[in-house]
């Protein structure tokens, strides 16, 4: 079995609102697959269909080779879930949270305790085992939710914004752990608002917008396919630029992208464009020349910046 | 459905850590009623159906505790687990179904009814108000009472969107149940219409059973009260899952 998840034209309506509008993608065993998209794009809706909190009303969702309207327990038993919102048992300690959750998977108390201790070790939470969950910082809670999702040795872990709200250290730690999981052959499916996270972790990703998938590929592929290699950020208010500036850039073979009040220029030969900026009345010290990134793809395809 | 036990185990683990916080409604309140009515009003009331007033009302407090325990657990408790603690979300990510989760809630309500009802029984026994060994059947009555009230509470909780609406259930349904359920005076003192209505009051049947077991009046009518409670539990049983499924699974 090569594909752990195959989604074909998934659709979802909430009343008159269409949250998913024909979403198709597939996730191969052992890869890390990402979902990027604005708030409300439909990422969590897609994740919930996979982990059995939402029904597949339109299209077909195949998980581990089986298609169901609502993901059944036998499939959930092979899956780990990190939901967007932490939902730990606030009355219990860190260790008890894991043990209790293991019980839902049918682990005996002893099995659950052994596994919980392994995972506390793995996530660097051993010294917090007896702490109350309420007293943990956001980053530690998130790590605990990730540890919890691994209680059943899942083959597939679905992570809905695993690092939102974490400081850079905490985020890097989570990334390291996710890489370690991937190295063990675990398939990862994650959503994120961070381009860097997507670039660092994901083998392939999709860009989702208003219930649709706009693009799919590996981070470098996406950049190559959708962007010229060079980008120039113009850090001046749009209104203060010379009127014919955009036309001049276009005439010189560049692409212009306006996002809110900011301006981005893209070109195959960025240096050439850069050298002419002063002559066109845009001081170079207010500009920045760099290579195009995934963020530029996002800006271009979704028409506005990430939040 | 079989995995409802796993959900129950999860709840019991939390209960072991938190039971002290919910002694209030489930135990303190029935005991307050018992002392105020039994020792206060009891001075003015000679005898009811051949027993002292406090003996008459004490068994009803056990049933009352059973009703309250399941009711509060499966209204406020369940609501908090759905919306605030998102426990349903985390449980459903494990290999259980919504049916397991809902029956886990109901069983938890019933277990709490038994436990807290037995605490009241202990107090009443210490006061010397238990007259019959038949009282050992009381856990069955409490479990049945808890089952019926847990099912009803889950149904109502599934219908409301805001936690404040749960007050309506308590005030408009649960309170009349206990005011007119034959706890403080025999139901034949009620007007005929109210007597008839009491047949759909689960607490009335539970009170009759508790009183008979505590005082040893094992009249043949008891089987009917038990039968009606079982019937109510069976009749209500499909609805908690149906109503909650609509709410939880999008
Ligand atoms: N149960 C529901 N009922 C009604 N609307 C819903 C429901 N669940 C999601 N939606 C709507 O569907 C859209 C997609 O929501 P979803 O949670 O999938 O977005 P998302 O991509 O995860 O966004 P975010 O980045 O903010 O988490 C949103 O407009 C949301 O309001
Ligand atoms: Mg989301």
Residue A1 confidence (pLDDT) above 70: no
Q: Are A62 and A29 in contact (CB under 8 A)?
A: no
Helix (H, G, I), strand (E, B) or coil at B175: helix
For residue range B67-107, list pLDDT tens digits in order.
999 999 999 999 999 999 999 999 999 999 999 999 999 99
A112 touches chain B (CB under 8 A): no
Q: What is the pLDDT of residue A189?
A: 97
User: Could you tell me which residues come within 8 angstroms of residue A272 by beta carbon, excluding any fewer than 6 positions away?
Assistant: A252
Q: What pLDDT, on the 0 to 100 scale, is given for residue B140?
A: 96
Q: State the residue range of the domain holding B233.
A: 2-249
Residue nearest to atom 4 of ligand 1 (CA): A14
Residue B46: CB within 6 Å of ligand 1?
no
- Say if ligand 1 is within 6 A of residue A49 CB: no
pTM, full prediction = 0.91
Closest-CA distance of chain A to residue B247, Å: 11
Q: Measure in Å the smallest separation between the Cα of B147 and chain A Cα atoms.
A: 22
The number of C-beta contacts closer than 8 angstroms across A and B is 80
* pLDDT value of position A244: 84
Q: Which residues from B are below 8 Å from A91, CB to CB?
A: 14, 17-18
Task: Give the pLDDT score at A306.
Answer: 44
For residue A34, what pLDDT is reported? 96
Q: What is the C-alpha separation between B36 and B34, in angstroms, rounded?
A: 6
The winner for highest mean pLDDT among A91-95, A255-259, B54-58 is A91-95
Residue B45 three-state SS: coil
From the CA of A265, how many Å to the nearest CA of chain B?
43
What is the interface pTM, i.e. ipTM, of the complex? 0.87
Each residue of A8-60: pLDDT tens digit?
Answer: 999 999 999 999 999 999 999 999 999 999 999 999 999 999 999 999 999 99
Confidence of residue B219 (pLDDT cuts 50, 70, 90): confident
The full 3-state SS of chain A, as one line of letters, equals CCEEEEEEEEEEEECCEEEEEEEEEEEECCCEEEEEECCCCCHHHHHHHHCCCCCCCEEEEEECCEECCCCCHHHHCCEEEECCCCCCCCCCEHHHHHHHHHHHCCCCHHHHHHHHHHHHHHCCCHHHCCCEHHHCCHHHHHHHHHHHHCCCCCCEEEEECCCCCCCHHHHHHHHHHHHHHHHCCCEEEEEECCHHHHHHHCCEEEEEECCEEEEEECHHHHHHHHCCCEEEEECCCHHHCCCCHHHHHHHCCCEEEEECCEEEEEECCHHHHHHHCCCCCCCHHHEEEEECCHHHHHHHHHCCCCC
User: Among the listed ranges A100-114, A223-237, A293-307, B143-157, which one has the minimum average pLDDT value?
Assistant: A293-307
Is the CB of residue A42 below 6 angstroms from any atom belonging to ligand 1?
yes
Q: Please determine, for residue B184, whether its predicted confidence score (pLDDT) is greater than 90.
A: no
Domain ranges of chain A: 228-291
Rounded Cα distance, B133 and A155, in Å: 56
- Rounded CA separation A264/A266 (Å): 7
Which of A33, A26, A6, A24 shows the shortest CA–CA distance to A186?
A: A33
Residue B88's closest CA among B75, B105, B73, B71? B105
Cα separation of B129 and B125, whole Å?
Answer: 6
Q: What confidence tier does B221 reach under pLDDT thresholds 50, 70, 90?
A: confident
Q: Which of A88, A104, A106, A150 to mutate to test the interface with B (most CBs of B within 10 A)?
A: A104
pLDDT in tens, A71-90: 999 999 999 999 999 999 99
Q: Which pLDDT band, with edges at 50, 70 and 90, does A307 fall under?
A: very low
- From the list A70, A89, A104, the residue facing B249 with the nearest CB is A70
- Contacts of residue B183, Cβ cutoff 8 Å, sequence gap at least 6: B57, B60, B61, B63, B64, B203, B207
d(CA A78, CA B225): 47
Nearest alpha carbon to residue A144 among A54, A166, A155: A166
B47 touches chain A (CB under 8 A): no
Nearest listed ligand to the Cα of residue A41: 1
Of all protein residues, the one whose alpha carbon is nearest to atom 7 of ligand 1 is A14
> What average pLDDT does chain A have?
91
Q: Chain A contacts of B16, Cβ < 8 Å?
A: none
Q: Whose CA is closest to atom 5 on ligand 1?
A: A14
What value does the mean pLDDT take over residues A59-77? Answer: 95
pLDDT at B33: 83
In the three-class reduction of DSSP (H, G, I as helix; E, B as strand; rest coil), residue B216 is classed as coil
DSSP class of residue B201 equals -
pLDDT in tens, A118-133: 999 999 999 999 999 9
Atom of ligand 1 nearest to the CA of A46: 18
The HSE-up count of residue B207 (CA atoms within 13 Å, CB side) is 24
The pLDDT tens digits for B35-47 are 888 888 878 887 8
User: Domain A228-291 belongs to what topology?
Assistant: Alpha-Beta Plaits (3.30.70)
Contact at 8 Å (CB) between A158 and A52?
no
Query: What residues have CB less than 8 Å from B247, skipping those under 6 apart?
Result: B82, B158
DSSP B219: -
The pLDDT of A187-197, averaged and rounded, is 94
CB B208 within 8 A of CB B222: yes
Confidence check: pLDDT of A303 > 80 = no
Pick from A99-108, B155-164, B166-175, B184-193: least confident: B184-193
> So what's the pLDDT on residue A302?
85
Sign of CA dihedral A221, A84, A8, A17: negative
pLDDT computed for residue A304 by the predictor: 57
Contact B90 A55 (CB under 8 A): no
pLDDT value at residue A305: 46
**Residue A167 Cα distances to A119, A145, A177, A223, angstroms:** 22, 16, 16, 27
Nearest to B245 by CA among B140, B105, B139: B105
Total number of domains in chain B: 1
Ligand 1 mean position to A83 CA, how many Å?
Answer: 13
Q: Which distant-in-sequence residues (6+ apart) come within 8 Å of A90 by Cβ?
A: A132, A133, A134, B85
* pLDDT above 80: residue B1: no
User: Which tens digit of pLDDT belongs to each residue from B111-160?
Assistant: 999 999 999 999 899 989 888 999 899 999 999 999 999 999 999 999 99
Looking at residue A136, its pLDDT comes to 92
């Amino acid at each position: 079995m090569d594909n752990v998840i195959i989604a074909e034209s998934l659709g979802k309506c909430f009343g008159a609102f269409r949250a998913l509008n024909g979403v198709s993608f597939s996730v191969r065993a052992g890869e890390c697959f990402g979902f990027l998209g604005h708030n409300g794009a439909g990422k969590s809706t897609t994740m919930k269909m996979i982990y059995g909190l939402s029904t597949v009303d339109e299209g077909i969702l195949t998980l581990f080779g089986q298609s169901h309207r609502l993901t059944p327990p036998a499939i959930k038993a092979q899956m780990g879930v990190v939901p967007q919102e932490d939902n730990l048992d606030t009355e219990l300690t860190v260790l008890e949270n894991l043990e209790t959750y293991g019980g839902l998977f049918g682990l005996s108390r002893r099995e659950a305790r052994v596994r919980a201790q392994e995972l506390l070790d793995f996530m660097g939470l051993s010294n917090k085992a007896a702490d109350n969950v309420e007293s943990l910082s956001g980053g530690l809670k998130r790590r605990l939710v990730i540890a919890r999702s691994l209680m059943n040795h899942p083959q597939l872990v679905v992570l809905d914004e695993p690092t939102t709200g974490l400081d850079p250290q905490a985020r890097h730690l989570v990334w390291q752990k996710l890489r370690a999981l991937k190295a063990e052959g675990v398939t990862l499916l994650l959503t994120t608002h961070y381009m860097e996270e997507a670039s660092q972790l994901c083998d392939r990703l999709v860009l989702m917008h208003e219930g649709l998938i706009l693009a799919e590929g590996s981070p470098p592929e996406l950049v190559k396919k959708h962007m010229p290699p060079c980008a120039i950020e113009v850090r001046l208010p749009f209104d203060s630029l010379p009127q014919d500036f955009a036309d001049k850039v276009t005439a010189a073979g560049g692409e212009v992208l306006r996002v809110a009040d900011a301006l981005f220029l893209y070109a195959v030969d960025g240096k050439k464009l850069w050298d002419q900026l002063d002559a066109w009345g845009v001081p170079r010290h207010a500009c920045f020349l760099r290579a195009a990134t995934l963020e530029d793809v996002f800006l271009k395809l979704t028409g506005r910046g990430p939040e | 459905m079989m995995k409802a036990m796993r959900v129950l185990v999860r709840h019991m683990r939390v209960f072991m850590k938190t039971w002290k916080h919910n002694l209030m409604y489930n135990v303190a309140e029935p005991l307050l009623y018992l002392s105020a009515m039994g020792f206060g009003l009891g001075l003015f009331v000679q005898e009811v159906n051949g027993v002292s007033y406090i003996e008459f009302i004490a068994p009803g407090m056990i049933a009352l505790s059973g009703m309250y325990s399941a009711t509060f657990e499966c209204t406020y408790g369940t609501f908090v687990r759905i919306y605030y603690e998102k426990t349903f979300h985390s449980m459903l990510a494990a290999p259980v179904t919504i049916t397991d989760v809902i029956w886990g809630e109901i069983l938890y309500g019933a277990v709490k009814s038994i436990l807290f009802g037995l605490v009241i029984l202990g107090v009443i026994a210490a006061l010397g108000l238990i007259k019959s060994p038949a009282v050992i059947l009381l856990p069955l009555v409490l479990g049945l009472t808890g089952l019926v009230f847990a099912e009803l509470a889950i149904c109502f909780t599934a219908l409301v969107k805001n936690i404040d609406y749960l007050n309506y259930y308590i005030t408009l349904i649960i309170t009349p149940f206990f005011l007119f359920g034959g706890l403080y005076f025999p139901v034949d003192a009620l007007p005929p219409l109210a007597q008839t209505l009491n047949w759909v009051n689960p607490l009335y049947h539970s009170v009759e059973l508790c009183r008979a077991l505590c005082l040893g009046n094992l009249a043949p009518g008891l089987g009917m009260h038990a039968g009606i409670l079982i019937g109510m539990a069976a009749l209500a049983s499909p609805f908690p899952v149906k109503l909650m499924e609509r709410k939880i699974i999008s």
